[in-house]
Structure 1
């Protein structure tokens, strides 16, 4: 397939998850979790331990970190969530970088006239700040966070909103978690899973329509998924 021919690429809109899909945010998220844990004298966790906790939003991630180190009541969770978010916001792009090949894939999609958006369970303001600090904000037609619509993935509502805000047409979604797959499926979109993401389970168990091991595979797999000729 000639990737420069937009008429032959099957999708008008591609939505992306952020953490574990476009960006490797694991170092900064693990540091924020450990800051909250250390504030109540809990043992810290490795980045590899934190990775499977990412994807359901900051509170969910922190709750899992606390469960792994002794548990926590809701009142304490409220206090620690604020500590985590404050630390994360102050150190949001210390280690965070795009995954290898991600920007090249975005460039190729844009060159074909594909509209690109992000739907993440991260708070919209934090996601916007990351994109701004990394100089990536202008690449996306829309950004929907876990709080933008009042509900996050696995609800299909924010995925449907992404497609609408990107101008509609035939769409697909790219993510790394069961939340991404469930939300895309419920919204009626085909979904591609990233094997290099922050997996809570083996990537083959997510039920995605296609799997990529690196961004060099994304556009060819989307083309096959969409039945491009």
Structure 2
């Protein structure tokens, strides 16, 4: 058992909380798990089926954050343009491939389990706010071993709007029933969402190919999940 987890358990048992925040909301892809390999594979299958040039992983990564519809539009725009019929076919091919292989190569980031356990031991509520569609999010959570781990899950199609609109984040917090809250993400979309919702935000910078969101304060950016409990405790 890690020192952080022992401390959290002792704090919870004594009634003195280590974390002032009582709900922590996480983005999913790129934040809790490295999902890029399977997403990039699905983009590759889609583009080949449409006789388009393929994109490398770095290009696909740069297109993420605004949900699957925007990803497909961006991939098609970058490889020859997009019309409504092309988008419809491309979207169907992408989703068909990704739904069948959404966790072939995706993995939780190192240290995630220890960080989540430290929060749970202190009685902190865990939630998800993602732009991933619900029917892709639920099986992905199951595949990562997180079935039932997050009582509050708000997806890209849960409401009529998605991030960076603050409503999904606020809804994820509302569903836990406790506050104050913090948001942990990895992209400029997450940072913008948190600022609009007036919720403290930490950003995970775990993928060497990812770009630190413009406008992020250095103190907001973490390079490992081992840093997360102390960073949350400082909020």
- 2:136 equivalent among 126, 129, 132: 126
Distance 1:199 1:177, change over 3 A: farther
Residue 51 (structure 1) aligns with: 61
Asked whether the equivalents of residues 194 and 211 of structure 1 are also in contact (C-alpha less than 8 Å), the reply is: yes
Distance in 2 between residues matched to 1:154 and 1:199, nearest whole Å: 22
Structure 1 residue ranges without an equivalent (≥5):
none
Distance 1:165 1:98, change over 3 A: same
Give the TM-score taking structure 2 as reference length: 0.90
1:13-37 Cα shifts (integer Å, max 9, x gaps): 0000000000111011001111111
Is structure 2 residue 102 aligned with structure 1 residue 92? yes
Residue 214 (structure 1) aligns with: 224
Matched residue count: 225
Asked whether the equivalents of residues 53 and 200 of structure 1 are also in contact (C-alpha less than 8 Å), the reply is: no
- 2:42 equivalent among 32, 43, 46: 32
- 2:8 equivalent among 3, 17, 20: 3
- 1:78 equivalent among 69, 79, 88: 88
Residue 149 (structure 1) aligns with: 159
* Cα drift, residue 208 of structure 1: 7.8
1:158-188 Cα shifts (integer Å, max 9, x gaps): 1011111111210000001111111111111
* Cα drift, residue 200 of structure 1: 6.7
* Cα drift, residue 43 of structure 1: 1.5
Distance 1:77 1:208, change over 3 A: farther
Runs ≥4 in structure 1, deviation > 2 angstroms? Answer: 1-4, 197-209
Distance in 2 between residues matched to 1:205 and 1:71, nearest whole Å: 31
Q: Secondary structure at the match of 1:3?
A: helix
Distance in 2 between residues matched to 1:55 and 1:198, nearest whole Å: 17
* Cα drift, residue 209 of structure 1: 6.0
1:61-88 Cα shifts (integer Å, max 9, x gaps): 1222122222222331122111101110
Structure 2 residue ranges without an equivalent (≥5):
none
Is structure 2 residue 128 aligned with structure 1 residue 111? no
* Cα drift, residue 8 of structure 1: 3.2
Distance 1:65 1:198, change over 3 A: farther
Distance in 2 between residues matched to 1:140 and 1:36, nearest whole Å: 31
